[in-house]
Amino acid sequence: MVEATAGKGASSNLDAYYIKPNNLVDLFEGSAVRYANHKLFGTKNKTTNQYEWVNYSDVAERVNNLRGALHKLGLSKGEKVGVIVSNCTEWFVCANATHGLGGIFVPMYEKELQKVWQYIISDATIKYLFVSNQKVYDVVMSFKKDIPTLKDVFIIFGEGEKSLAALEKMGKENPAPSYKPHWSETAFIIYTSGTTGDPKGVLLHHGNMTHNARECHVTFDEGDPEEVGLCILPWAHSFGLTADLHTYITGGWALAFAESADKLLVNFSEVKPTHMSAVPRVFNIIYDKIQQGVAADPAKKKVFDAAVAEAVKNRDLKEKTEEFKFYDAVAFSTIRNIFGGRLKHVVTGGAMMKPEIALFFADVGVPTYDGYGLSETTPVISNNSPKRGNKYGTVGKPFKDTNVVIDKSRVGEDSPDGEIVVYGAQVMQGYHNKPAITREAMMPDTWKGFPGVRTGDRGWLDEDGYLHITGRFKDEYKLENGKYVHPESIENEMKLLRYVSNAIVYGDGRLYNVALVVPDFEALKTDPKTSAWAQGSREETIANKECTDFISKEIKDHLRKTFGGYEIPEKFLYITEDFTVDNGMMTQTMKLIRRNIMKTYGDRLIALYSA
């Protein structure tokens, strides 16, 4: 085994590691005092079309009021409060009010299948539930009678006695002091996506949350409470919950809510963020649009290519050349303005940024920093950052108070990689109501008193302590020739092509791989190379053999740059419907639910082998 140990001095007393503020109540209340008049949350007003901001003190008052109401309703320590709403000020008000009574908060996605809501509400034994609107309220009330532990449901954006506004008014008249949880008390149950079965409730305590947020903040701390972020990651997942919400509150920073993926570029210009967290796909799409825009104008492309070449020469120079400064002013500043002109740091997770794309954005002055983690680790295990170094193609160095072990028991000691096992301050308490699965995931031993968890991911640590991810055990399979394939890596590479919206690779026990491809129909319509084939319906487009043969060749040519011949799909099946949450083929975190995709398309994929 190879170890990368961060943190100094062993101690069986974990209190020494979870330094104060080590609960989310103290964390917010401290920031609300220090940054009382600073902006906290910005929301786009649909009527005025302007962002409107609330200060830390405004939010603190609402938290106090709702805490009083929940206390009067009878919420006790250890009981659960749930929410079904997208990121908003009210989401946080509900969470911190719950924590201030020793309650456990259970967030759910607003865009989710009804059966998933029903499962989570029942499994978590949620006592009080907050929902976004009347429509969601009606859906929940249709099955409330089947969940006796659900005592009441309230509407966040509504009126009347069942509204959040009514509760806040009641709480203002019945104040209750805040309870300060011990770091070891459970703060959240975060339900994982359920790619292989029912969602699993990850139990995260206050120490997990505050320690991870503090370390995120320390590695990016600019020492300036005027930092502003644009929030596009859902707080129902630990990436957005930690990297955005709690990290920003730690520093007294401000956070604006993006309206949607479609309006992201507009929101960039309105908010002018200095920081943000995102999945690489966001920047892959923007990169592709930049390349397409430049390619359409030969004169612009000539200047752009010269600028990029000059930037490459200047990567290791502290003092930039005059040529670079010229190109920076005429070309790169235009790209920075896409992001509002002030974006200094982008934290990326959920998948790896392709190094060439990451280097491009660094060259133009918008550096990205890959990190790595799981819901089970709050989520951050390791990261690249301005203070810790940025090694492209890696997910950075392990956090403080974290021990990463490469376990080669599944692959043999001669293997260059193995399963990533993590011990540390961020590791979960276990899975709610799932003792058997918890035992499988958690390590039988500890490190400095910290628990450990198996990640299911393959990786290795280099001589500088940077972690490299090479695949995922649960998704890998063996071809007929005995060679192992990690389909996710191939799929992610395919999706870098502008013609591919989504893809899944299959070949378990077969002679070669095949792939199911969802084309990007808008890209096909607008690209000069393909537009003649794509002006009809989607069905007509994929029925055009010239079109699909072209895409297949583009995919193969692209994959040959990175993968071995045995890994590249030999045949392709094209479909018109994308994988989505609604059709059950995609999780909320954009991971493929392979078993559901194969249920629908498996026979047609397998038929490619006999075609």
pLDDT digits (tens, 9 = 90+) for 358-409: 999 999 999 999 999 999 999 999 999 999 999 999 999 999 999 999 999 9
- Is the residue at 9 inside a domain? no
Has residue 11 got a pLDDT over 60?
no
Cβ contact 29:432 at 8 Å: no
| Side chain identity at residue 385, one-letter code | S
Question: Could you read off the pLDDT of 557-572 as tens digits, one per residue?
Answer: 999 998 999 999 999 9
Q: Decide if 51 contacts 45 (C-beta within 8 A).
A: yes
Residue 7 lies in a domain: no
Element (H, E) at 169: helix 164-173
538 shares a domain with 602: yes
Domain end residue (candidates: 472, 490, 520) = 472
- Whichever domain contains 561, its CATH number is 3.30.300.30
Residue 16 falls inside a structural domain: no
C-beta atoms surrounding 392 within 10 Å: 17
φ, ψ for residue 265, nearest 5 deg: -65, -35
Q: How far apart are CA 601 and CA 604, in angstroms?
A: 5
**Strand ranges of the sheet holding 104-108, from the earlier edge strand across to the other edge:** 152-155, 126-131, 80-84, 104-108, 186-191, 201-205, 430-431
Q: Are residues 101 and 193 in the same domain?
A: yes
Q: In terms of Cα–Cα distance, which of 73, 281, 258 is closest to 168? A: 73
* pLDDT beyond 70 at 196: no
Q: Among 469, 448, 339, which residue's Cα sits nearest to residue 403? A: 448
Residue 446 has pLDDT above 90, yes or no: yes
Asked whether residue 240 is domain-assigned, the answer is: yes
Instruction: Band the pLDDT of 275: cuts 50, 70, 90.
Output: very high
Task: Read off the amino acid at residue 462.
Answer: D
pLDDT given for residue 9 in this prediction: 34
Evaluate whether 381 touches 402 at the Cβ level (below 8 Å).
yes
d(CA 322, CA 328): 10
pLDDT tens by residue, 98-117: 999 999 999 999 999 899 99
Residue 398: closest CA among 378, 368, 372, 375: 372
Mean pLDDT of all residues in 310-315 = 96
Answer whether the bond into residue 181 is a cis peptide, omega within 30°.
no
Contact yes or no for 308/319 (Cβ under 8 A):
no
Whole-number pLDDT of residue 295 = 84
The pTM of the full predicted model, rounded to 2 decimals, is: 0.90
Asked if residue 204 and residue 71 are part of one domain, the reply reads: yes
Burial classification of residue 319, based on how many CB atoms lie within 10 Å of its CB (0-12 exposed, 13-18 middle, 19 or more buried): exposed
Phi, then psi, of 508 in degrees rounded to 5: -60, 115
C-alpha separations of 498 from 110, 305, 599 in Å = 29, 20, 27
Taking alpha carbons only, the member of 365, 146, 281 closest to residue 591 is: 281
Q: What is the pLDDT of residue 194?
A: 63
Which H, E and C letters describe 202-260, residue by residue?
Answer: EEEEHHHHHHHHHHHHHHHCCCCCCCEEEECCCCCCHHHHHHHHHHHHHHCCEEEECCC
Q: What gap in Å lies between CA 573 and CA 583, rounded to an integer?
A: 19
Q: Name the 3-class secondary structure at 469.
A: strand
The bridge status of strand 39-45 relative to strand 418-424 is unpaired
What distance, in Å, lies between the first and last C-alpha atoms of the chain? Answer: 46
Question: H helices of 296-381, where?
Answer: 298-313, 322-327, 333-338, 355-363
Q: What percent of the chain has pLDDT over 70?
A: 97
CA 521 from centre of chain: 26
Separation of alpha carbons 542 and 573, rounded Å: 9
Q: Decide if 332 contacts 311 (C-beta within 8 A).
A: yes
Q: Cβ–Cβ contacts within 10 Å for residue 601, how many?
A: 18
The distance of Cα 104 from the centroid of its chain, to the nearest Å, equals 22
Per the domain annotation, does 2 fall within a domain?
no
The count of structural domains within the chain is 3
pLDDT of residue 4: 39
| pLDDT over 90, % of the chain | 84
- Residue 505 and residue 427 share a domain: no
Same domain assignment for residues 218 and 91: yes
pLDDT value at 7 more than 80? no
Say whether both 483 and 504 belong to one domain: yes
In a domain, 85, yes or no: yes
Does residue 289 share a domain with residue 263? no
Query: Which of 274, 302, 320 marks a domain boundary?
Result: 274
Res. 64: pLDDT tops 70: yes
Closest CA to 101 of 31, 176, 7, 156: 176
**Cα(528)–Cα(514) distance, integer angstroms:** 28
pLDDT for residue 195: 60
What pLDDT band is residue 354 in, cutting at 50, 70 and 90?
Answer: confident
> Which one of 258-262, 545-549, 587-591 scores highest in mean pLDDT?
545-549
Select from 472, 488, 503 the last residue of a domain: 472
**What is the mean predicted confidence (pLDDT) over 121-141?**
98
Could you tell me if 425 and 373 are in contact, meaning their C-beta atoms sit under 8 angstroms apart? no
Alpha-carbon distance of 451 to 389, in angstroms, equals: 27
Structural domain includes residue 430: yes
pLDDT at 511 > cutoff 90: yes
DSSP 378-447: SSEEEE-BTTTB--TTS--EEPTTEEEEEE-TTT-TTSS-EEEEEEETT---EETT-HHHHHHHB-SS-B
Element (H, E) at 61: helix 56-73
In the Cβ-directed half-sphere of 112, how many Cα atoms lie within 13 Å?
30
Indicate whether 153 and 80 sit together in one domain: yes
Question: Residue 169: phi, psi to the nearest 5?
Answer: -65, -45
Q: What is the pLDDT of residue 588?
A: 83
Could you read off the pLDDT of 519-543 as tens digits, one per residue?
999 999 989 999 999 999 999 999 9
CATH of residue 119: 3.40.50.12780
Average pLDDT, the chain: 94
Do residues 166 and 49 both lie within one domain?
A: yes
Are 56 and 142 contained in the same domain? yes
Average confidence (pLDDT) over 575-591: 89
Is residue 5 included in any domain, yes or no?
no
Do 200 and 226 sit in the same domain of this protein? yes
Peptide bond into 416 cis (omega under 30): no
> What are the phi and psi torsion angles at 7 (to 5°)?
100, 145
The parent domain of residue 191 ranges over: 22-274
* Residues 377 and 297 grouped into a single domain: yes
